Amino acid sequence: MKTYTRLIICFTVTALISLGLVLASPAADSPAAAVHGLDLAAIDRSIKPGVDFFAYANGNWLKTAQIPADRSSYGSDAMLIELTNKRTAALIREADVRSASQSAETRQIGDYYASFMDETGIEARGLTPLAPALQRIAAIADRAALSRELGGSVLADVDVLNNTNLYTDNLFGLWFAADLSDPTRYIPFVLQGGLDMPDRDYYLDGSTRMAAIRGEYKAHIERVLTLAHLANAHAKAGRIFDLEHRIATVHWSREDSEDVLKGNNRWTRRDFEVRAPGIDWPIFFKAARLEAQSEFTVWQPSAVTGIAALVASESLDTWRDYLAFHAIEHAATYLPKAFVVENFAFHGKVLAGTQALRERWKRGVDATSAALGEAVGKLYVQRYFSPAEKTRAEALVASLVAAFGQRIDNLDWMAPQTKVKAKEKLATLKVGVGYPDKWRDYSGLKVIRGDALGNFERSQQFEYQRNLAKLGKPVDRSEWVMNPQLVNAVNLPALNSLNFPAAILQPPYFDPARPAVMDYGATGATIGHEISHSFDDQGALFDAGGRLHNWWTKEDLAHFKASAARLVAQYNTYRPFPDLAVNGKQTLSENIADVAGLSVAYDAYRASLHGKDASAAQGFSADQQFFLSFAQSWQQKIREPALRQRIVTDGHAPAAYRADTVRNLDAWYPAFDVKPGEALYLARQDRVHIW
C-alpha cells in the first residue's frame, strides 16, 4: 500500500521474497538506456489523448511489444529492471571469480551464487538437504511438538506498512517494527499466514475461474508429494487442501488487513493463551526465541484465534502432511529440477500466466540479491550511481518537498492547526536517496559453497536474528527496507521516512540527458506520490513522530473522505474484464498518492521555471512533455492471469489506469485540448483535487 510498485509479479513464493527481480536474456539490448526523452515511436496519434491517454502515449508500443515467455508482464519498468539486473548479475558473477583482493562480503556473494548454480550437485543430493526438516515434521507426535515446529519455523517475512507484504506461507508471519502506539520502541507484529496460494480469495471466491485454479492446485499438491515419494499422495493432497481452505475461511480480507486502525491490537503473552487456545504458546514462543517478549501487535486477531483452533482440531496426520508439503514448496527453488519445474507449472503458469521458466542464472542472481541485498547493493552503487546523480536527485526531492509545503499552505479545507502539524511532519520527514547512510553487516551470515539450500535457510535465519536483535533497542529511522538495486520507492509511515533506491533514479525515469520537465513528470511524480503517503488517509493516522494518532480535525477528515469517495467511484468504473473491475476502495491510498504526486510534481516543475517559459522539445510543449513522460512511465503490457491476480491482491491500480491519473489535473485539459464527451473528460467539479 505504501510502495510505488512498478514491480513485476513473480512466480514462486521465494521469488516474491526476492522483491521482483526479473532478468532479460544477456544478449538483449537495453531500450531503457538507449532512449533519452519521450519514446516518440510508442505514441499512437490515431487515438485522442482525451479518449484514452494511456493508449495515446503508448499505443504503438502496445501493438508491437511482446511479453517475453518467461514473464507475466513487460514495459518501461521491466526494461529498466532488466538493465539493472543485468548489471547486478554481472557484479554477482564477477564476485564468483575468486581473487586475493576480494573482500569477505564479495566472497559471500560469489559463494551464494555459485552454490545456486551448481545444478549437478543439487541433482546429486536430491532431497537430502531437506531430510532433517522432513524427519522432524514426521516425528511430531503431539500438540506440544506441533507447537514447537510452528514456532521454530516463523521468519521475519511480512511487512504491514512499508513494503506491504502481507503474505507468508508459514502459519504466522512476523514483522519487527516501531510500535504504532509508542514509536520509540520496536514490537513484533503477528500476521495471519499458512496459505500456499496468494490470498484467501483463491480458496473462497465462487467464480468458475477461481474454481478451476483450485482444481489445478490440488493436482499440484499431489504431484509435489509424489515427487517427494510420500505415500497416498492423492488422499493427502485432498486433506492438505481442505486444511488450507479452513485456514482461508478464518483469514481477514486484503482490504481489512490493510486497515491500520483494525490491525493495531496489543496482546500480551497471556492473551494468546486466553484468546487463541489450541497452540501451546509458551512452547511456540520459546521455539521462536521470543520467550522474553511480553507484548505483541496482533494484526488480525480473529484469524490468529481461528488458526490456533485449527491447530487443536485438525488431526496430527493432516498437520504433518501439510507441514511437509509447505517445507518442500518453500525450498522448491533450491531443490532438484523436477521440483523447480513443478513449482513453476503451478505458481508461474497457472497463477501468473508466465509461459517459460527463467534461465537458471537469472534465478541465481535473484536468490543472491534476496539473501545479501545490501552487500550486492553496495557493489551496485559504487559502479552505477554517481555522486552527481545523488545530488541531482536530492535537489529534485527538495523541490518536491517545497511544492508540497506550498500546497499545504494553500489548502482551503484544512484547519490552521492541522496545517501546522502537517508542516511539522513535512519538516521531520527523512528522505533517503540512493542507498542507506550505513550498510547492513553480513559478517554473521555463514555461506557455504556447495550448500545451496543450507545457505538459503541460514540467510532466512540471519534475517530473523537481525530483526530479533532490534527488540529493546532504540528505533533506527535510517534503516532501509528496499535494496539500492531495486526499481521502486517506498514510504515508511511509522519512521516518517522515504526510500528512493538508486535503481529507480536512472533513465527512463530520471535522466540528465533530457529536459528536466520530463524528470518531473516521471520521477517527480514518484517522489510526490511517496511524500503524499505521509499525508493521506493513512498518513493522517501517523504524527510527525510516527505515532498512530490522528492529528487531523474531524472537519479535515470529513472533507478528505468526501474527496476520497469521489476517487473510489472514479476507479470503480475501470473494468478491464467483464467479470472483474478495479476495486476503488482497495486501491484508494495509492490512487490518492498518484493524484497528489502528479499535482505536486507539476507545481514543482512550474516553480523550477522561475516565471520563464519552458521550451518545446520533440514536437511537444513543456506541459505535454510533462504529462507524456508520466504516462510513458506506466508503459506496460500484462498477461490476463497476472492482471487478474494483481486486481485481487494489489493495493495499486493497473498501470493503464495509473497513467489516466492526468484527468484530475486542470493543466492536462488545455495541454491536449481535451473536450467534453471524450471518455476521460471530467467536468471541473468532478476532478478530484485533494492536495
- Cβ distance to Zn ion smaller for residue 445 or 525: 525
Q: What is the per-residue binding string for Zn ion in 331-370, x denoting contact by CB under 5 A?
A: ----------------------------------------
Smallest separation, CB 347 to Zn ion (Å): 26
Smallest separation, CB 594 to Zn ion (Å): 8
Smallest separation, CB 597 to Zn ion (Å): 8
Smallest separation, CB 530 to Zn ion (Å): 7
- Cβ distance to Zn ion smaller for residue 4 or 456: 4
Window 57 to 86, contacts with Zn ion (CB under 5 A)? none
- Which grid coordinates belong to 26? 544477456
Burial of residue 435, with CB atoms counted within 10 A of its CB: 0-12 exposed, 13-18 middle, 19 or more buried: buried
Q: Check: CB of residue 232 under 8 Å from CB of residue 226.
A: no
Q: How far apart are CA 484 and CA 504, in angstroms?
A: 9
- Cβ distance to Zn ion smaller for residue 4 or 272: 4
- Cβ distance to Zn ion smaller for residue 115 or 163: 163
- Cβ distance to Zn ion smaller for residue 222 or 590: 590
- Cβ distance to Zn ion smaller for residue 328 or 593: 593
Q: How far apart are CA 142 and CA 488, in angstroms?
A: 45
Q: Check: CB of residue 340 under 8 Å from CB of residue 88.
A: no
Smallest separation, CB 658 to Zn ion (Å): 10
Residue 412 gets which letter from DSSP? S
How many residues bind Zn ion (CB under 5 A)? The answer is: 2
- Cβ distance to Zn ion smaller for residue 84 or 163: 163
Smallest separation, CB 47 to Zn ion (Å): 28
Report the b/e string of 268-291 with b at 16+ CB within 10 A.
ebebbeebbebbbbebbbbbbebe
Please list, in sequence order, all residues whose beta carbon lies within 8 angstroms of the beta carbon of residue 572, skipping any fewer than 6 positions away: 581, 582, 583, 584
Smallest separation, CB 589 to Zn ion (Å): 7
* DSSP-based three-state secondary structure for 529: helix
- Cβ distance to Zn ion smaller for residue 310 or 525: 525
535457510: which residue's cell? 457
Smallest separation, CB 272 to Zn ion (Å): 33
Smallest separation, CB 433 to Zn ion (Å): 17
- Cβ distance to Zn ion smaller for residue 327 or 593: 593
Q: Check: CB of residue 557 under 8 Å from CB of residue 501.
A: no
- Cβ distance to Zn ion smaller for residue 534 or 608: 534
Smallest separation, CB 399 to Zn ion (Å): 20
Handedness of CA 21, 27, 33, 36 (dihedral sign): negative
Window 100 to 139, contacts with Zn ion (CB under 5 A)? none
Q: Which amino acid is at 652?
A: H
Stretch that binds Zn ion, among 21-29, 155-163, 546-554, 593-601 (CB under 5 A): 593-601
Among 7, 502, 541, 593, binds Zn ion (CB under 5 A): 593
Q: Which of 493, 471, 469 is CA-nearest to residue 481? A: 493
- Which grid coordinates belong to 580? 472483474
489445478: which residue's cell? 216
Distance between alpha carbon 134 and the CA centroid of its chain, in Å?
31
Q: How far apart are CA 475 and CA 186, in angstroms?
A: 6
Q: Check: CB of residue 179 under 8 Å from CB of residue 267.
A: no
Report the b/e string of 134-166 with b at 16+ CB within 10 A.
bebbeebeebebbbbbbbebbbbbbbbbbbbbb
- Cβ distance to Zn ion smaller for residue 300 or 526: 526
Smallest separation, CB 146 to Zn ion (Å): 39
Smallest separation, CB 460 to Zn ion (Å): 27
Window 553 to 592, contacts with Zn ion (CB under 5 A)? 590
Smallest separation, CB 423 to Zn ion (Å): 22
- Cβ distance to Zn ion smaller for residue 92 or 593: 593
Smallest separation, CB 404 to Zn ion (Å): 15
Q: Which of 551, 533, 530, 554 is CA-nearest to residue 541? A: 551
Q: Which amino acid is at 88?
A: T
Residue 345 gets which letter from DSSP? I
Q: How far apart are CA 616 and CA 620, in angstroms?
A: 5
Q: What is the per-residue binding string for Zn ion in 623-652, x denoting contact by CB under 5 A?
A: ------------------------------
Cis peptide, bond prior to residue 508, ω within 30 of zero: yes
Give the E-state strand segments of 510-665 in sequence order.
Answer: 636-638
Report the first-to-last Cα separation within the chain, whole angstroms: 19
Q: Which of 115, 1, 2 is CA-nearest to residue 499? A: 2
- Cβ distance to Zn ion smaller for residue 258 or 623: 258
Establish if 160 lies at the interface with Zn ion (CB under 5 A). no
Window 406 to 465, contacts with Zn ion (CB under 5 A)? none
- Cβ distance to Zn ion smaller for residue 21 or 490: 490
Smallest separation, CB 685 to Zn ion (Å): 26
- Which grid coordinates belong to 192? 495471519
For the chain, helix (H) and strand (E) counts, in that order, are: 32, 9
* DSSP-based three-state secondary structure for 157: coil
Q: Which amino acid is at 468?
A: L
- Cβ distance to Zn ion smaller for residue 323 or 541: 541
Q: Check: CB of residue 472 under 8 Å from CB of residue 454.
A: no
Chain residues in the site for Zn ion (CB under 5 A): 590, 593
